[in-house]
Chain A
Amino acid sequence: MKVLVPVKRVVDANVKVRVKADNTNVDTTNLKMALNPFCEIAVEEAVRLKEAGIATEVVVVSVGAKVVQEQLRTAMALGADRAIHIETDEDLVPLSIAKLLKAVQEKEQAQLIIFGKQSIDGDNNQTGQMLAALTDMPQATFASEVKLDGEKVTVTREIDGGLQTLSMPLPAIVTVDLRLNEPRYASLPNIMKAKRKPLDTLAVADLGVSLKAHQTVLKVTPPVDRKAGIMVSSVEELVEKLKNEAKVI
């Protein structure tokens, strides 16, 4: 069984971004970039399926400028077999990315597509669901457990209020939550090996997909800063402030 894992390059999770002075976007120049943490979990799950003898091939795919190849190499160092890079310098909305991924899936015919549930930059939480709709596949989002049994996948999902378990026929789409697994670190030999693994680059035009503009970002602004608070020296003072100053208890 082939597993397809779409991955994204994002600003490292520990970096606090700043909005550009002209309010056109956040400033990402010279920031540390990384594989989106949720995508890392998706890759890890796919690699574990391969190690368990369930998956035969793990293919990673990313849409973006040439630099996303770094993250595709990282994914291959973690155990993916090969990578597909769809090259574009444009900043695409999740729907456009899902359309490109649909074209990839038509060629690859993966039985399982594993996504991160959201990217930590756009915070959209859309792409997996959109690809599921475009390919008319069943979906299980926010997975914290994935079990494959023949032609079925059973997924435990994190929902508001608790956990839910769904079962779906393959091919299916799963988007993963933080709790699914603990991604491994890439070892140096695996990083070296990943350099020789196949990486195909495609242009958007090669995929025969027509994309359109869906939205305009008018401005990007910093959130309102909270006023600096005060430090209290005792629990008594804290309770007094909450009762008489903030009046919240």
Chain B
Amino acid sequence: MAILVLAEHDNVSLKSDTAKVVSAATAIGGDIHLLVAGADCGAAVTAAQALAGVSKVLVADSAEYGAQLAENLSKLVVELAADYEHILAAASSIGKDTLPRVAALLDVAQISEVIDVVSSDTFVRPIYAGNALATVQSLDAKKVMTVRSSAFDAVASTGSAETVNLSQVITARTEFVSQALTESARPELGNAGIIVSGGRGMGSGENFAILEQLADKLGAAVGASRAAVDAGFVPNDLQVGQTGKIVAPDLYIAVGISGAIQHLAGMKDSKVIVAINKDPEAPIFQVADYGLVADLFEAVPALNNLV
């Protein structure tokens, strides 16, 4: 039977998470349909049509879906669910908000943060902040799951799926009030090939400027540990870890980060990890491919000059 993937988008651009979730759907095998629910989301639909492996794009374009609220989005997905055996979304803030509602309405368990597809009913997911991997077999008729996008490669944009316009308009009692997004010219954390992250050792928000300079030179995104976020150095959405973003870039440079379990959960699948810390006993050195014991205020500017 077919697979329904909830597209991740902001009404204008389709997020790369979607191409990665489609990749997970391809691993399950079956006809893949993409649901784009939003308001004036034509550009996202066009991008969705191009994803390789997608045969149909279902479009629910209405002001009611503009903010992508879980309350009505979940009901829309449930109305479509009869035709699908698998329902997938990225383990993003929208996917995590919406899919458990879908699962509960369908009376099935949800499998969260899938990192590997073993078969059409068996999946691998991390538990205990990534310190164990559970292989879970679903006994439910429908499999509802969120996919950790950092664990899958994006599919190419070589397809040409047909579109089907949906007529369902479901209203929510939840009211969208406002949104404040962090503006940045740097790549998104989830997509970046290189991430430069700072922790408590940065000392202040102003000091993050040296990391930003390095990031700009490397074309990298800037991340942070919880300590740096809690201290108000940088906004919350830069947090990497068990409860923040889970990333797996080619290169992760951890600066002034001790390496608590919760932080490692968010970045230990990076291909190459570099740690710069003045404490030689910091746990981050146990996962770092290259460690440098040094004062970051000397090492980071020196690094900036050399790259």
Partners in one complex: yes
Interface check B162, CB cutoff 8 A? no
Cross-chain contact B92 with A17 (CB below 8 angstroms): no
Given the complex of chains A and B, what is the CA–CA distance between A239 and B217 in angstroms?
A: 13
Cross-chain contact B110 with A126 (CB below 8 angstroms): yes
Residues in A with CB closer than 8 Å to B286 are 228
Cross-chain contact B136 with A223 (CB below 8 angstroms): no
Cross-chain contact A138 with B173 (CB below 8 angstroms): yes
Binds B, one of A1-9, A127-135, A183-191: A127-135
Given the complex of chains A and B, what is the CA–CA distance between A163 and B287 in angstroms?
A: 32
Cross-chain contact A166 with B175 (CB below 8 angstroms): yes
Cross-chain contact A154 with B261 (CB below 8 angstroms): no
Given the complex of chains A and B, what is the CA–CA distance between A124 and B235 in angstroms?
A: 24
A226-B268, A232-B292, A242-B251 are contacts. A133–B128 as well, Cβ < 8 Å?
Answer: no
Cross-chain contact A159 with B93 (CB below 8 angstroms): yes
**Interface size grouping (class) on chain B:** 35 or more
Cross-chain contact B127 with A26 (CB below 8 angstroms): yes
Cross-chain contact B181 with A162 (CB below 8 angstroms): yes
Interface check B69, CB cutoff 8 A? yes
Interface check A216, CB cutoff 8 A? yes
Cross-chain contact A218 with B137 (CB below 8 angstroms): yes
Cross-chain contact B112 with A123 (CB below 8 angstroms): yes
Q: How far, in Å, is B302 (CB) from chain A's closest CB?
A: 4
Q: Which of B245-273 contact A (CB under 8 A)?
A: 245, 250-251, 261-262, 268, 271-273
Cross-chain contact B109 with A161 (CB below 8 angstroms): no
A13-B262, A218-B122 are contacts. A167–B306 as well, Cβ < 8 Å?
Answer: no
Given the complex of chains A and B, what is the CA–CA distance between A125 and B250 in angstroms?
A: 27
A161-B181, A167-B175 are contacts. A215–B109 as well, Cβ < 8 Å?
Answer: yes
Cross-chain contact B92 with A118 (CB below 8 angstroms): no
Q: How far, in Å, is B148 (CB) from chain A's closest CB?
A: 11
Q: How far, in Å, is A165 (CB) from chain B's closest CB?
A: 4
Q: How far, in Å, is A237 (CB) from chain B's closest CB?
A: 8
Interface check B105, CB cutoff 8 A? yes
Residues in B with CB closer than 8 Å to A179 are 229-230, 236
Select A93's contact among B109, B182, B290, beta carbons within 8 Å: B109
A129-B97, A226-B268, A248-B272 are contacts. A141–B290 as well, Cβ < 8 Å?
Answer: no
Residues in B with CB closer than 8 Å to A164 are 67, 176, 178-180
Interface check B71, CB cutoff 8 A? yes
Given the complex of chains A and B, what is the CA–CA distance between A98 and B106 in angstroms?
A: 13
Cross-chain contact B179 with A238 (CB below 8 angstroms): no
Report which residue of A130, A132, A134, A215 has the largest number of chain B beta carbons within 10 angstroms of its beta carbon. Answer: A215
Interface check A32, CB cutoff 8 A? no
Cross-chain contact B130 with A223 (CB below 8 angstroms): yes
Interface check A111, CB cutoff 8 A? no
Given the complex of chains A and B, what is the CA–CA distance between A63 and B103 in angstroms?
A: 20
Q: How far, in Å, is B43 (CB) from chain A's closest CB?
A: 18
Interface check B201, CB cutoff 8 A? no
Cross-chain contact B136 with A216 (CB below 8 angstroms): yes
Residues in A with CB closer than 8 Å to B172 are 138
Given the complex of chains A and B, what is the CA–CA distance between A162 and B273 in angstroms?
A: 26
Cross-chain contact A229 with B178 (CB below 8 angstroms): no
Residues in B with CB closer than 8 Å to A249 are 194, 218, 251, 307
Cross-chain contact A95 with B101 (CB below 8 angstroms): no
Interface check A235, CB cutoff 8 A? yes
Given the complex of chains A and B, what is the CA–CA distance between A140 and B71 in angstroms?
A: 9
Q: How far, in Å, is A6 (CB) from chain B's closest CB?
A: 14
Interface check A90, CB cutoff 8 A? no
Residues in A with CB closer than 8 Å to B307 are 239, 249
Select A124's contact among B71, B102, B112, B242, beta carbons within 8 Å: B112
Select A166's contact among B136, B137, B174, B190, beta carbons within 8 Å: B174
Q: Using an 8 Å CB-CB cutoff, how does the interface string of A209-249 with B read, 1 for contact, 0 for none?
A: 00001111111111100111111111110110110001011
What are 26 A-B pairs at a CB distance below 8 A? A13-B261, A17-B132, A123-B242, A126-B103, A132-B101, A138-B174, A139-B97, A144-B236, A154-B177, A160-B245, A162-B179, A163-B236, A165-B179, A166-B69, A166-B175, A177-B236, A179-B236, A216-B137, A217-B137, A218-B136, A218-B137, A223-B131, A230-B291, A242-B272, A248-B251, A248-B272
List the 10 closest A-B pairs by CB distance, nearest first: A214-B109, A129-B100, A162-B181, A133-B104, A130-B104, A126-B100, A229-B289, A133-B101, A165-B177, A248-B251
